[in-house]
Amino acid sequence: MPSTVRRRGTSVPEKRLPPGQYVPRGWPVLHYGPVPRFRPGKWDLRVYGATATGERYRWTWEEFQRLPVETVESDFHCVTKFTLPGMVWEGVPGATLTELAPPDASVTHVMVWADFGYSANLRVGDFVADGTLLATGAVGEPLTPEHGFPVRLVVPHLYGWKSVKWVRAIEYLTADKRGFWEERGYHNVADPWSEKRYSYQEEAGEGPPLTP
pLDDT tens-place string over residues 86-138: 999 999 999 999 999 999 999 999 999 999 999 999 999 999 999 999 999 99
28 band by pLDDT with thresholds 50, 70 and 90: confident
pLDDT tens digits for 124-156?
Answer: 999 999 999 999 999 999 999 999 999 999 999
What does the pLDDT read at residue 78? 96
b/e sequence 99-108, b meaning 16+ C-beta within 10 Å:
eebbbeeebe
pLDDT at 66: 97
CATH architecture of the domain covering 42-176: Alpha-Beta Complex (3.90)
Query: Domain locations in the chain?
Result: 42-176
Predicted confidence at residue 212, as pLDDT, reads 67
Percent of the chain with pLDDT over 90: 85
Question: 3-state SS of the chain?
Answer: CCEEECCCCCCCCHHHCCCCCECCCCCCCCCCCCCCCCCCCCCEEEEEECECCCCCEEEEHHHHCCCCEEEEEEEEECCCCEEEEEEEEEEEEHHHHHHHCCECCCCCEEEEEEHHHCEEEEEHHHHCCCCCEEEEEECCEECCHHHCCCCEEECCCCEHHHCCCCEEEEEEECCCCCCCCHHHCECCCCCHHHCCCEHHHCCCCCCCCCCC
Model's pTM, two decimal places? 0.91
Model pLDDT for residues 56-82, shown as the tens digit of each residue = 999 999 999 999 999 999 999 999 999
Distance in angstroms (rounded) separating the CA atoms of residues 85 and 12: 6
